[in-house]
């Protein structure tokens, strides 16, 4: 049987955060005597002094710092537990926030969202189309519930979805197709390369740049495809995104000496699967099924 309660730890936390018993009482709408009693009871139960008054401000003792640090983990978990209960009590969530990396095929995404709209017609969707670490940044900031990414951020678990292939391509009349031999790295560096900018705010990474002097940087894969189809450069593009253009002859693969194709694993990541509502879980399954 536990001696202490979460409420006692919450009151101690309030005293420390607000700098005193009176300030804590005003902040959490409890009487000062109630908070004073709870904190002193906590100290008696533990047999440890947790607070000391320095000037007019209550501060943690060394033991108090350690104990409150551990207790705050429990308070955080308790808060999350209550949020899960509230979500379950409400039933279907009103909105899903999802970030999808550009490497995930558009038609797979459209199929999944169409199926979701039939199963959950009243659930709104906020879709963020991201590049490289842009989706991870949104997940870490708590701005999305679901993420499709090529790089699972630390602290999360990703479920493998598919292996995305990137093919080096150019317009059939591009100079790289007229060499009469396999283009080498030096040949590529003499031509304009179209690269896709990382959509993360705190990153300047570009996708697959080879050091070409004539680099052009765009923000979306669709823009890169359009430019390559017009003969404006070369790029590595997602194979499933350009299958129609390849079949129609608007794009042609570059038979390089090496590295004509690149591969990236794609993962599905939940911000918190335990807290996810039924619509979010269903969308995750639909995204996985689309790949299969």
CB 203 within 8 A of CB 182: no
CB 72 within 8 A of CB 88: no
pLDDT in tens, 209-240: 555 567 899 988 999 999 999 999 999 999 99
Helix axes 21-28, 32-46, angle to 10 degrees: 110
Q: Which tokens in the block code for residue 238?
A: 């997602």
Three-state secondary-structure class, residue 158: strand
Q: Are residues 13 and 32 in the same domain?
A: yes
Pick the range with the lowest mean pLDDT from 14-18, 98-102, 124-128, 145-149: 14-18
Q: Which tokens in the block code for residue 22?
A: 């009176």
Q: Are residues 99 and 158 in the same domain?
A: yes
Domain end marker among 49, 65, 90: 90
Q: What is the mean pLDDT of the chain?
A: 90
**CA–CA separation, 199 and 100 (whole Å):** 11
Angle of CA points 63, 66, 69, to nearest 5°: 145
Q: How confident is the model at residue 204 (pLDDT cuts 50, 70, 90)?
A: low
Q: Look at residue 165 in the predicted model and tell me its pLDDT.
A: 95
Residue 151 inside a domain? The answer is yes
Q: Could you tell me the CATH number of the domain that includes residue 195?
A: 3.40.190.290
Q: Are residues 72 and 38 in the same domain?
A: yes
**How many C-beta atoms surround the C-beta of residue 89 within 10 A?**
7
Residue 1 inside a domain? The answer is no
267 has which bridge partners?
149, 160
Q: Could you tell me the CATH number of the domain that includes residue 40?
A: 1.10.10.10
Q: Are residues 127 and 178 in the same domain?
A: no
pLDDT in tens, 260-280: 999 999 999 999 999 899 999
Q: Is the pLDDT of residue 92 over 80?
A: no
Q: Is the pLDDT of residue 179 over 80?
A: yes
Q: Calculate mean pLDDT across residues 242-259.
A: 94
**CA–CA separation, 199 and 102 (whole Å):** 10
**How many C-beta atoms surround the C-beta of residue 192 within 10 A?**
17
Q: Is the pLDDT of residue 285 over 80?
A: yes
Long-range contacts of 12-18 (CB under 8 A, 24+ apart): 12/38, 12/39, 12/42, 12/50, 12/51, 12/64, 12/68, 12/71, 13/68, 13/71, 13/72, 13/75, 15/39, 15/51, 15/58, 16/51, 16/58, 16/59, 16/60, 16/68
**CA–CA separation, 168 and 183 (whole Å):** 11
**CA–CA separation, 49 and 280 (whole Å):** 46
Q: Are residues 156 and 274 in the same domain?
A: yes
Going by C-alpha positions, the residue among 214, 250, 219, 251 that lies closest to residue 236 is 251
pLDDT in tens, 142-176: 999 999 999 999 999 999 999 999 999 999 999 99
Q: Are residues 126 and 271 in the same domain?
A: yes
CB 25 within 8 A of CB 35: yes
Q: Quote the pTM value.
A: 0.71
Q: Look at residue 11 in the predicted model and tell me its pLDDT.
A: 92
Q: Which residues span the domain enclosing 196?
A: 164-262
Q: Is the pLDDT of residue 6 over 80?
A: yes
Q: Look at residue 207 in the predicted model and tell me its pLDDT.
A: 54
Q: Are residues 172 and 248 in the same domain?
A: yes
Number of domains in the chain: 3
Q: Which tokens in the block code for residue 86?
A: 């509230």
Q: Calculate mean pLDDT across residues 94-111.
A: 94
Q: Look at residue 56 in the predicted model and tell me its pLDDT.
A: 75
Q: Look at residue 205 in the predicted model and tell me its pLDDT.
A: 55
Q: Calculate mean pLDDT across residues 111-119.
A: 96
Residue 208 inside a domain? The answer is yes
Q: Look at residue 283 in the predicted model and tell me its pLDDT.
A: 97
Q: Is the pLDDT of residue 85 over 80?
A: no
Q: Are residues 272 and 153 in the same domain?
A: yes
Q: Calculate mean pLDDT across residues 98-127.
A: 94
């Amino acid at each position: 049987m536990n001696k202490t309660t979460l409420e006692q730890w919450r009151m101690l936390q309030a005293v420390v955060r607000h700098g005193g018993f009176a300030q804590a009482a005003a902040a959490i709408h409890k009487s000062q005597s109630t908070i004073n009693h709870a904190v002193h009871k906590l100290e008696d139960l533990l047999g440890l002094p947790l607070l000391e008054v320095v000037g007019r401000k209550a501060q943690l003792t060394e033991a108090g710092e350690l104990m409150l640090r551990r207790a705050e983990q429990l308070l955080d978990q308790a808060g999350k537990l209550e949020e899960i209960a509230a979500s379950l009590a409400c039933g279907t969530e009103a909105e899903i926030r999802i970030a999808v990396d550009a490497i995930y095929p558009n038609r797979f995404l459209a199929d999944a969202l169409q199926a979701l709209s039939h199963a959950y017609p009243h659930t709104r969707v906020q879709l963020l189309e991201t590049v490289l670490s842009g989706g991870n940044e949104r997940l870490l900031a708590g701005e999305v519930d679901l993420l499709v990414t090529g790089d699972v951020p630390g602290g999360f678990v990703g479920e493998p979805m598919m292996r995305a292939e990137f093919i080096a391509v150019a317009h059939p009349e591009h100079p790289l197709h007229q060499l009469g031999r396999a283009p080498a790295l030096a040949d590529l560096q003499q031509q304009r390369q179209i690269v896709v900018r990382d959509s993360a705010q705190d990153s300047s990474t570009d996708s697959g740049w080879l050091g070409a002097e004539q680099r052009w940087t765009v923000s979306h894969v669709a823009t890169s495809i359009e430019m390559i189809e017009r003969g404006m450069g070369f790029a590595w593009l997602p194979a499933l995104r350009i299958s129609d253009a390849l079949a129609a002859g608007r794009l042609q693969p570059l038979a390089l000496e090496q590295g004509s194709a690149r591969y990236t694993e794609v993962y599905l990541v939940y911000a918190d699967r335990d807290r996810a509502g039924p619509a979010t879980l269903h969308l995750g399954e639909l995204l996985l099924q689309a790949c299969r």
